[in-house]
Structure 1
Amino acid sequence: MTMNETTIDELKAAPSDLEVPGTMRAWTLGDPNELKLETRKTPTPGRSEVLVRIDAVAICATDLDVISKGPPALINGGLPFNQDFTPGHEYMGTVVAAGPGVDEYTIGDRVAVEIHAGCGQCRRCRSGMYTSCTNYGRNYGEQDKGHRANGFTTQGGFAQYAVNHVNTLVPVPDQMSDAEAALAVTAGTSMYGFTEMGGLLAGESVVVIGPGPIGLLAVAVAKALGASPVALVGTRANRLAIGGKLGADVLIDGKSEDAVARVRALTGGIGADYVMDCAGTEQTINEAIHMCSRGGKICLAAFPHGLASIDLAHAVMNNIYLYGIRGEGKSAVRRAMALMAAGRFDATLIHTHTFNLADLPEALRYARERVDDAIKVVLRPQH
């Protein structure tokens, strides 16, 4: 019997609380902003894959873009609408079934997940840049190159179960809560940004623009890696305050003061060694360029919504390096998890609201409209 013919029942070898049902609940994307909670067959893991019971999944701003506009999701070579597609990508859970060839994890292991497995065969994947896989979205029909990016090109986490390649799994410490573990992907994105910029932050000055989830955890990661000073630029007092709790040495209110001038003054007129822009607006990209030191580095960690007119001449003349990142590459989630497990920062400070699976539409509204100062909204798919 081939793996494709193997049934869920034949994969079961678990305690009763980890038994795998034949069906599960999952949200399916129809037209833009149209989600339906459906019952579908529980997926079966293939070679080098496991079935993860999703215990917590966080909502990301990119999920909102996928649900309303489509990109960067790509299903069957096109937009994800009306293709039986489940979005959601920042999740953790418990291994409840394993496909052939899996001996790295056992039934009952708690894991966080990276989004991207990549195809494993293109030049980018072979060099470790699997989030930049040149076969992105090619996992269907005669175009199947084996690429996987759960919640973008393959089934995501707004469901009770999902299949993950073992390369995407990160062990979760016993003492860590489900909600905290689900935030490891967010922290991993910040970690990836610093990795691409060089990664050696000890004693270097860092500015983070935009105290959203990625920006707030970028502050935490930078501080944990020894950066000094770490400044956070934002416009919401409550989020700046959380940034202070996560390690920011300097909080800059972009509405009441000139952020560029403040950073210049803070660094003796030189500018910051590293700037991570987590806002993605024309204004913040230009601020990043002008507050960065000569020979400094800028990470663009947010997706701009449209074209941006930027002072590229200043960046070139001052030998400033610009890095764009996608996702959580180069095992960044594993490294972020190590910092979290060691207690180097408390990621739960950005977790503000929790909903059950059936309440996803309301959870999305909280995230989109920032209801009740929502920052990171987490779903519990098993409830």
Structure 2
Amino acid sequence: MPDSGLMPEPSLTVPETMRAWVLGGPDEMRLTEKPVPVPGRGEVLIRIDAVAICATDLEIIHYGTPALVDGEPPFNKDFTIGHEYMGTVAALGPGVDEVAVGQRVTVEVHAGCGQCKRCRQGMYTSCHNYGQRAKGHRANGFTTDGGFAEYAVNHVNTIIPVPDRMTDEEATLVVTAGTSMYGLTELGGLVAGESCVVSGPGAIGLLAVAVARSLGAYPVILTGTRESRLEIGRKLGATHTVNVREADTVEAVRAIVGDKGADYVIECAGTEAAINDAIRMTNRGGKVCLAGFPHDMATVDLPHVVKNNIYLYGIRGEGRSATHRAMQLMADRRFDATLIHTHTFALQDLPEALRHARERVDDAIKVVVKARGAAALCQEAAE
């Protein structure tokens, strides 16, 4: 069969209700029954097969932000979070002929309103009508129901076909790779041969290494505190790694790229110290992508930024169709994203999956929840 993402089943039976986890109060998740959503014009119903846990999911569960449901915090709204999911097309809304029932797909998070200034510029992750469903905006898992359930509705613009040879687990990682790709896009597009530093070997940082190296960056330097993560970074393409517990980060980077500093820095740690290190290791006229989410106000060396004509970019999500480009790199086996997939749980075991992700049990990086067939898979892994 050609590598089309089509599954052998020509049609799917869609039930009236589904299992879904909903957010109660802070740190409270509840498994319940909800009606299966019905796709409207330009929408697709997806039977969710797998969903990965993102650090932002943990933020939403505890703090509420950055989720927003009808203009209010997401607590006690019968709201389902989760945004890094893939599955099988189960039904098509009116006017949809771009995908077929039975096709395996993964998704982008954001579908902008399509009418505001930012959406018209292609910046749909910065939609001016964020959270306003009446305007057509959707951000599944943030403003509209997401993937910790058995079904979800997505706008057809957010659908990406999954190759036959790609596993469900790997397909859930496309959004993470797409976020890294978006960061490089906003920096102006990586030019082969430019030096790139990635600070923080979490999921986004590790795949930022993979994407940067796939696009020809050299050298690609990964900085972090855990040797196990740095080792994964090397497997994903890092030409050099720096353990910040053993060396001065800025000095170590400059020793590799030269005194002038790095061309690009992707900062994924989100701490004040890491942000300032990123600025000081960047060369004059260089660019820094702030991909980490700081919790608090940070004192930043802006005099150094201005004096050295350094550009700072903040990114939100996986915009400008970066997930489509990331998928192509993954489909072409330019890097092995599965290296960051460490644990798998069944949908009913979501609380334990969240605990593994939150507490980094067994050095968990990407924890994947399977809505279908997970029990047998987990039993097999245990044996």
State the shift of 1:15 in Å: 4.2
Name the SS of the counterpart of 1:18 in structure 2: coil
Counterpart for residue 11 of structure 1: none
Runs (4+) of structure 1 exceeding 4 A deviation are 14-17
Counterpart for residue 222 of structure 2: 232
Counterpart for residue 121 of structure 1: 115
Counterpart for residue 77 of structure 2: 83
Is 1:179 aligned to residue 176 of structure 2? no
Counterpart for residue 190 of structure 2: 200
What does the per-residue CA deviation read over 1:211-256, in whole Å, with 9 as the maximum and x for residues that have no partner? 0000000000000000000000000010000000000000100011
Once the two structures are superposed, the pairs formed by residues 1-383 of structure 1 within 5 Å of their partners are 15=9, 18-139=12-133, 144-383=134-373
State the shift of 1:60 in Å: 0.3
User: Contact 2:203–2:365 (CA<8 Å) still a contact in 1?
Assistant: yes
State the shift of 1:16 in Å: 7.8
User: Contact 1:201–1:222 (CA<8 Å) still a contact in 2?
Assistant: no
State the shift of 1:138 in Å: 1.2
**Which stretches in structure 1 are left out of the alignment for 5+ residues?**
1-13
What does the per-residue CA deviation read over 1:342-369, in whole Å, with 9 as the maximum and x for residues that have no partner? 0000000000000000000000000000
State the shift of 1:293 in Å: 0.3
Distance in 1 separating the partners of 2:204 and 2:188: 18
User: Contact 1:273–1:297 (CA<8 Å) still a contact in 2?
Assistant: yes
Distance in 1 separating the partners of 2:265 and 2:122: 24
Name the Cα RMSD after superposition: 1.0
User: Contact 1:114–1:168 (CA<8 Å) still a contact in 2?
Assistant: yes
User: Contact 2:11–2:102 (CA<8 Å) still a contact in 1?
Assistant: no
Q: TM-score, structure 1 length as denominator?
A: 0.94
Name the SS of the counterpart of 1:188 in structure 2: helix
User: Contact 2:202–2:365 (CA<8 Å) still a contact in 1?
Assistant: yes
Corresponding letter in the other structure for 1:109: Q
Distance in 2 separating the partners of 1:80 and 1:335: 31
User: Contact 2:195–2:218 (CA<8 Å) still a contact in 1?
Assistant: yes
Q: TM-score, structure 2 length as denominator?
A: 0.94
State the shift of 1:324 in Å: 0.2
Name the SS of the counterpart of 2:135 in structure 1: coil
Name the SS of the counterpart of 1:221 in structure 2: helix
What does the per-residue CA deviation read over 1:64-102, in whole Å, with 9 as the maximum and x for residues that have no partner? 000111000000111000001000000111101000000
Distance in 2 separating the partners of 1:105 and 1:16: 13
State the shift of 1:382 in Å: 2.4
Distance in 2 separating the partners of 1:160 and 1:84: 15
Identity, % of aligned positions? 69
What does the per-residue CA deviation read over 1:160-198, in whole Å, with 9 as the maximum and x for residues that have no partner? 100000000111111000000000000000000000001
Name the SS of the counterpart of 2:213 in structure 1: helix
Corresponding letter in the other structure for 2:38: T
Distance in 2 separating the partners of 1:265 and 1:179: 38
Shift in CA distance, 224/242, structure 1 to aligned 2, threshold 3 Å: same
What does the per-residue CA deviation read over 1:29-67, in whole Å, with 9 as the maximum and x for residues that have no partner? 011011110011111000000000111100000000001
Distance in 2 separating the partners of 1:232 and 1:18: 45
Name the SS of the counterpart of 1:358 in structure 2: helix
Distance in 2 separating the partners of 1:185 and 1:267: 30
Distance in 2 separating the partners of 1:242 and 1:201: 24
**Which stretches in structure 2 are left out of the alignment for 5+ residues?**
1-7, 374-383
State the shift of 1:18 in Å: 2.4
Corresponding letter in the other structure for 1:314: H
User: Contact 2:104–2:162 (CA<8 Å) still a contact in 1?
Assistant: yes
